[in-house]
Amino acid sequence: MIFMGALAYVLSLSVAFIAFIISRFSRNLLTALFKAVPAYVALSFLWPLIFGEAGDSTNRPFTLWNPLYRLVRIPGIEAIALLALMLIGLAVTLWFVIRIG
C-alpha cells in the first residue's frame, strides 16, 4: 500500500514538472493554466493504465492482468515507466532553470 502511494506521488510529481515547463512558455497565469490542462488530461488516461480500473481487483499494478504489463511483458514496468517519466521531467526542468538562470 505504501508503494502504491509512492507511485501515485511520482506520477503527480511528473505532471507537476510538466506543468512547470509549460508555465515557462506562458506570459500570465491564466494561459499557463490553459496550457497545463492537456497534461492533466494525459494524467487521467495514464492513471488507469498504471493503477488499474476502479473497482477491478484483477487489474492491479504488478499483476499479469495489468494493461501496461500485457503490452510490453516487462516485470515491474509500472514503476520503471513512472520513474522514467519523472526523471525526464526533472532533467528538462533543471535544464530550463540552469539555462534561464
**What residue spans define the domains of the chain?**
18-100
What is the pLDDT tens value at each position of the chain, 101 positions in all? Answer: 677 778 778 878 888 888 888 888 888 888 888 888 887 888 777 777 677 666 565 667 777 777 778 888 888 888 888 888 888 888 888 888 888 76
| Cα 18 from Cα 15, distance rounded (Å) | 5
| Cα 86 from Cα 28, distance rounded (Å) | 25
Instruction: List the grid coordinates of 34.
Output: 490553459
Instruction: List the grid coordinates of 43.
Output: 494524467
